Amino acid sequence: MKPDSRGLLSGRLFIDGDHACAEGAIAAGCRFTAGYPITPSTEVVERLAQRFPFVGGTFIQMEDELAASITVLGAVWGGAKAICVTSGPGFSLMMEHLGYAAMTETPVVFIDVQRGGPSTGLPTLPAQGDMMQARWGTHGDCRFIALCPSSPQECFDLTIEAFNLSERFRTPVLLMMDEVVGHMTERVVIPSADDLDIVPRRYTDKAPGEFKLFEPRDDLVPDMCRAGQGHRIHLTGLTHDERGYPVLNADTQDRLVRRLADKIERNAAQIVRVEERNLDGADIAVVAYGITARIAERAIEMARAQGIQVGSLRLITAWPFPTERLQRLASEVSAIVVPELNLGQMVLEVERVVAGRCRVISVDHAGGTVHLPKQIHAAIESAAREAGVMRLPLASER
């Protein structure tokens, strides 16, 4: 369906990633947020609070992150599209409700604008240290969808995508931003309503009494029901049957937990997105995401100017991970370089998937700023030299 054009600021804006994210949420039909401020994510909610009165939305300032995240989930079950916005310390506090959203199959978007950690860390400075928390942070066994924007424009685009995926698969979707992308101001083009596609909530047309809230369709995703139309529903974080009532035994657990995982994994081909550049005939590949992917492009330009055949694969979805694409890539290149603003997180997944098909080189960074392009360039250069694919002398040898 098309978005409500009254809520769209169609045109060209010069705004930061946080504000672009708020506009993406409004474009996707989000009309509720409950928030507790935390740098560097506060501007997302500030803009929503400012814009919501003009589009019929509601913002509630909460007493803490626990209240914020559960209130957002309540709004979804009341019929709203809703968003929950935070940064590392708040993300940690919200883990319980993220798991509750996964277990109750609540379509909702959580945004983590990553800053340096652990704990309070570096409130105003960037990191990408929550990537594994996005995957494994909540307890129990579940799968999440996580997207990584690398520009303010993508903060807009991927917030819409996050809402669409959350509705399509009735699941929480994470937007893993970083401080640089959140606070960087650039041109953001907001399309007209005709050029955007919004996935509406999939409501049942079954009558109350016939409808089961957790009965999946063939795609493993169950429909929802509209509040106030006579359906009596039961939502619980306990292991439940298709009606939503607790059934605490191994069979029900197995059926439910496997379906929750399968609905992401078996549908991964519809979810996974990467951006590839210069990979045809490449000897070396750089795998990066978020702001680091942009910095890496500068390093790649430097290396290509030296004659090194190096390309890039940018993770737009970090989770589910583009396993098959990486496996294919690993059999085509001699090394994969993985820069990230943490001490090596997504590189673990790259190594797991590559499984020895090629070398994997981590270019780690504790955060607080971004890599210097020359740090990534040095890793590309040493990978090329080791693989014997340097076609020109090293810069230092000329």
Partner 1 sequence: MASSEIKIGGLGGQGVIMAGMILGKAASLHDEKFATLIQAFGPEARGAACSAQVLIDDDPILYPYVVSPQFLVTLSQDAFRQFAPELREGGVLMFDEDMVTLGKLPPSIRTYGLPAMRLAESLGRKQVLNLIVVGFFTAITGLVSEAAARAAIRDTVPPSTIALNLHAFEVGFAQGKSRLADKTN
Binding site for partner 1 (CB under 8 A): 12-14, 16, 39, 123-124, 180, 183-187, 291, 294-295, 297-298, 301, 369-370, 373
- Closest by Cα among 377, 175, 125 to 290: 175
Among the residues of 81-237, which ranges form H helices?
Answer: 88-93, 95-104, 131-136, 152-169, 179-183
Reduce the DSSP state of residue 363 to 3 states and report it: strand
Closer by beta carbon to partner 1, 17 or else 35: 17
Determine phi and psi for 53, rounding to 5 degrees.
-60, -25
- How many beta carbons lie within 10 A of that of residue 354, not counting itself? 22
| Half-sphere exposure at residue 218, Cβ-oriented, CA atoms within 13 angstroms | 0
Dihedral Cα 94, 98, 101, 107, nearest 10 deg: 100
Give me the least distance between CB of 242 and partner 1, in Å please. Answer: 49
- Closest by Cα among 334, 12, 293 to 128: 293
Per-residue CA distances from 215 to 249, 259, 314 (Å)? 18, 11, 36
**Residue 264: which residues within 8 A CB-CB, separation 6 or more?**
143, 144, 145, 169, 171, 271, 320
Closer by beta carbon to partner 1, 9 or else 207: 9
What is the dihedral sign for C-alpha 310, 315, 318, 321? negative
Give me the least distance between CB of 12 and partner 1, in Å please. Answer: 5
**Where does residue 251 rank: exposed (0-12), middle (13-18), buried (19+ CB within 10 A)?**
exposed
Give me the least distance between CB of 179 and partner 1, in Å please. Answer: 10
Closer by beta carbon to partner 1, 197 or else 301: 301
Give me the least distance between CB of 185 and partner 1, in Å please. Answer: 4
Give me the least distance between CB of 98 and partner 1, in Å please. Answer: 27
Closer by beta carbon to partner 1, 369 or else 382: 369
Residue 356: what residue type? G
Closer by beta carbon to partner 1, 13 or else 395: 13
Return d(Cα 359, Cα 379) in angstroms, integer: 12
Give me the least distance between CB of 281 and partner 1, in Å please. Answer: 22
Give me the least distance between CB of 201 and partner 1, in Å please. Answer: 35
Cis peptide preceding 40, ω within 30 of 0: yes
End-to-end Cα distance, the chain: 58
Give me the least distance between CB of 352 and partner 1, in Å please. Answer: 29
- Closest by Cα among 124, 93, 97 to 108: 97
Give me the least distance between CB of 13 and partner 1, in Å please. Answer: 8
Contact 120, 89 (CB under 8 A): yes
